[in-house]
Structure 1
């Protein structure tokens, strides 16, 4: 559908820049990183140099790029691997956005420039062992004391936590959810990487244990309540609606190349009707999803985006992407289960992507609430 014709020259230049970074720095090594469950932390400063950390935020040393530019960058990164796009999401859409939207001027001036430059890495502690889709039931609590705050509890599936310099931790204060800026060298903060993952292996998710004392200034002063973390989650969900399509597009490109060069019954695999049907179906669905993401981005830049529309795109595009990756794998036959080819790795990663920042079920009910006026969450 030649969707690039809708991009500005600046957007095309960014796409080329990030695509070249992925070709040079990610594709030659990603199979090994996935095999060994290694997050390539050496790439983080290079991501910062590209202006990818907090790229949608303005001021405080942040790049201030458009929503569409941010989405394009996420699509190109996830064409390399979902785990690397997640780094940008955790750092920028979650941790930096929390400080940018809800922090004090002191917190913004201290942390955001350093995080944009990649000199400080952040994480975002909302999910708990027993509170994923229902964060209102979190058990982490913060109690005000004469010299500050005492924060206790546990968090799970927290990206980048074991290498982070600062954690945004959400806790209950007298029954209301509030955010806290917690330097990770604070005594009583412990982050442990989660091992034996079958998805997002070239990434880093952690358990966090908390028994920390913090100064009065650690609390995020603005937007108490669940609106605080949800504002950040919506930024991450928006990026996912674009990013998942990078995994899908890469899988199609791999399948196209393989089918063109694989000889079966003395003919290229791509010459068979069933193979062509798979390829056509995948490309049609990808183009529809890309147009949805672009419409979402243009609406966001115009200030016309409604929150349920993010749920529509996150739900639809993750669902589309994972089916494309699975179908692309079938074209590769047995070779498709090896690390030499990306579709099954992408499909495995997308099992996580469709789960975090709101499961399929949660986003279905958000859209259902919009359609019917009835909240069916409980």
Structure 2
């Protein structure tokens, strides 16, 4: 009886800790436990005395606020202040920039699913839909990416004019200032669709709408700057670029060496207070053709001309530099594996008036916050759009190619090795689209800095994986460059997405967890601020709340792990309900591991990049998983096709999260603590596995048909398909034709392989099949028409050697010879 009560008491105690109990409740529960133990004689007289001597003084100290502060909290505060790292104004601005959103729920170990369920995707307006279906479709139809990439190494003049005149550069600029005023999601759709036709055009359109002076002026500019520049940018009269990175500054953009010195100059006979700029920038997209530059530099005022003689260094500042400013060197090009305009900017003693600071002189030194917030929005719109476009473009192309390309008398999509790669393409494409829609919708409501860092890294990495698999499946079809190759140019330009707006290695190692841990944690940043302010009362409140929070998350992580996530909450009755539970389990594990890592390693964690990166991977995969859950609930209910894709995506995300968590415990810098963490969060081992072969096969089969997911993408206008003269258009025509005759075609091919139908070529075989009544005339004609489309779609390009040496001269010569021939013919006729 006594042991049963003891077990019941321990179970109750565990439940209270699991559910979360305050300090006073914890004390009372412990007192009750000791009272019961004494009452049933489990402790004995000596045990009761010892327990009382330990418990009651500790209970008094912990619950008497002033006594606790004096005896316990004050020493901790002093020690904390000694090891508290200094924080520069730049670091503070980076940490405070933007907002936290759904990722904070995932980080804190107990997500409130209502926030995700009640979050509404942005809905495109009628105007946005029309622009996507008309202007964007027209723009895509104007572009020959092979001509752009190989021959011209630039967009044709007519395409540039169309982009400028139709408002593509002014999508983020409000209608009030002459822009389109489109939502972030609409911009995402437009950039994605263009990217399926031309990566060059997509980059050209996205940069002014992500990182550019237009967004900075819209949010921070003076009324005069907004009135002058925004209409001109929106109408395409001005082409913007933004000068941030340089030879010594890549991912660490806060280390800008470029300077601006406040000084006075004589300009047109008048003394002007302004800035003398010295800078050397590179990797600047649109720089060769830009007419106005947004420039980031360090502003210095050694003479106190801004009015504060005690302040000489104002920090990073952003200003506008017109192209015709004396001393500006502009126009040369880089060639970053693609034809989009990109080049260096240099300047020596380039003088601009003080009023050219974006936001005016009062915004001197505020550049880093402005940049971080705008970078955040750009990461959440443009790069996920490029990645999703690649995912869906390769989904459509690879599915069609795997259906029409046959080897050993079978579609190549029937082979297990190909199906494994197709499964990844299909599952990752689904994840990319889910993340694109959710993240862009979030950007429409706030500036989620951590989420956009997550999605920048993982979307571009998923894009990399999709392209690798697509290239493997297409084999030689993917490496023979030319107008028929829809894969080669995206493959060449892939590194651009991996490196821009923070190299992926840096984003994963430093930003996702480094920023997420402080911004998303309910106590850490507040504790740091209280310590800096030496506020004992506030630090005491936060510290003990934090301790209770950590204990609760540890107990939750263990309980959810040993129960196989069954104790977790699920808000859905859909077939994906168990996945909500698994996400909640990993969320608790992440919260506990993050607290232990920060508590044990302290400032050392910043240098343990692999350790923090693995925790960031867990957070990232939970975000991807919840994006998939949301996407399925909104778009896939009742659809077997959606369910197949969603399950693959969720199994993949949870396996990635489990492997990252296991690697975190295994490689923790303090091995003993790593072992304890593993026993707490993975007591039964890492049991989440990647998708099975059967899942890959099912996705591959669906990709070789028009399924609910691909039908939605077509209906939403996310992919540009093109006509019969385009590589993707040819492929889609053959694919669509196959859908109509597939049963007859397979029956015909089987008859040929069994020797039931003879003939040296397909025409003779079809005639024989018709003569033997295996096919009627209509069926035979349809198969013949399809086979012609199929053969044409799988061909690759070949060229005259002179064309490859000098394509422009070759085409000009051909055109001139053609004109001469026409003139000779007309002369002969006359």
Contact between 1:141 and 1:171, CA under 8 Å: does it hold in 2?
yes
Cα distance, 1:152 vs structure 2: 0.9
Q: Would you say the 8 A contact 1:169–1:182 is kept in 2? A: yes
Change (3 A) 1:129 1:6: closer
- In structure 2, the partner of 1:96 is 214
Q: Give the secondary-structure state (helix, strand or coil) at the position aligned to 2:330.
A: strand
Query: What's the secondary structure of 2:261's corresponding residue?
Result: strand
Match of residue 203 from structure 1 = 340
Taking the TM superposition and a 5 Å limit, the aligned residue runs for 1:191-340 are 191-197=330-336, 199=337, 201-211=338-348, 212-220=350-358, 221=360, 222=363, 224-238=366-380, 239-303=382-446, 305-339=447-481, 340=484
1:17 is aligned, of 134, 151, 162, to: 134
1:352 aligns with 2:496: yes
1:141 aligned partner:
259
C-alpha deviation, 1:137, in angstroms: 1.7
- Of the candidates 157, 163, 187, which is equivalent to residue 70 of structure 1? 187
Q: Single out whichever of 354-363 and 125-134 deviates more from structure 2.
A: 354-363
Partner in structure 1 of residue 228 of structure 2: 110
User: For 2:238 and 2:420, how far apart are their aligned partners in 1?
Assistant: 48
The CA deviation string for residues 159-183 of structure 1, in whole angstroms up to 9 with x for no partner, is 1111111011111112411111111
TM-superposed CA distance for 1:95, in Å, is 2.5
Measured in 2, the distance between the counterparts of 1:107 and 1:281 equals: 48
2:167 alignment partner in structure 1: 51
Matched with 2:310 is none
- 1:53 and 1:128 map into 2 onto residues whose CA distance is 25
User: 2:173·2:230 contact (CA, 8 Å) conserved in 1?
Assistant: no
SS at match of 2:502: coil
Gapped regions of structure 2 (runs ≥ 5): 1-120, 265-271, 301-312, 519-602, 610-830
Deviation at 1:6, TM superposition (A): 8.7
Q: CA deviation at 1:356?
A: 0.6
The structure that has the greater radius of gyration is 2
Partner of residue 530, structure 2 = none
Q: Which of 246, 249, 259 in structure 2 is aligned with 1:131?
A: 249
Which of 159, 175, 181 is the matching residue for 2:285?
159
Q: Do the aligned partners of residues 354 and 209 (structure 1) sit closer, same or farther apart at CA in structure 2, a change above 3 Å counting?
A: same
User: Is the CA contact 2:122–2:185 (under 8 Å) kept in the aligned structure 1?
Assistant: no
Unmatched tracts of structure 1, length 5 or more: none
Distance change in 2, residues 1:6/1:196 (3 Å): closer
CA-CA distance at 1:8 after TM superposition? 4.7
Assess if the C-alpha contact under 8 Å between 1:177 and 1:226 holds in 2. yes
Q: Is the 8 A contact 1:60 1:112 kept in 2?
A: yes
Structure 2 Cα separation of the partners of residues 229 and 180 of structure 1:
12
Matched, 1:33 2:170: no
Compared CA separation, residues 12 and 287, structure 1 to 2 (3 A)? farther
Q: Is the 8 A contact 1:166 1:182 kept in 2?
A: yes
Equivalent residues, number: 369
Looking at secondary structure, tell me which structure has more helix per residue.
Answer: 2
Cα shift at 1:62 = 1.2
Given that residues 299 and 316 in structure 2 are in contact (C-alpha distance below 8 angstroms), is that contact kept between their aligned partners in structure 1? Answer: yes
Structure with bigger strand share is 1
What CA deviation, in whole Å up to 9, does each residue of 1:209-256 have, x standing for no partner? 112111222111237131122222222212211222112221232222
The answer to whether the aligner puts 1:190 opposite 2:335 as a matched pair is no
Pairwise CA distance, 1:286: 0.8
Q: Say if 2:124 and 2:186, in contact at 8 Å, map to a contact too.
A: no
Give the aligned CA root-mean-square deviation in angstroms.
Answer: 2.4
Distance in 2 (alpha carbons) for counterparts of 1:16 and 1:30: 20
How far did 1:14 drift? 4.3
Q: Is the 8 A contact 1:326 1:344 kept in 2?
A: no
1:171 corresponds in structure 2 to 297
Greater RCO, 1 or 2 (C-alpha within 8 Å, sep 6+) = 1
* Residues 1:14 and 1:280: Cα distance change in structure 2 (over 3 Å): farther
In structure 2, what is the Cα distance between the partners aligned to 1:281 and 1:72? Answer: 23
Q: What is the CA distance between 1:278 and its match in structure 2?
A: 2.1
Match of 2:506 among 353, 362, 367: 362
Could you tell me how far apart the structure 1 residues matched to 2:241 and 2:516 are? 34
By how many angstroms is 1:370 displaced?
4.0
CA distance in 2, matches of 1:357, 1:316: 13
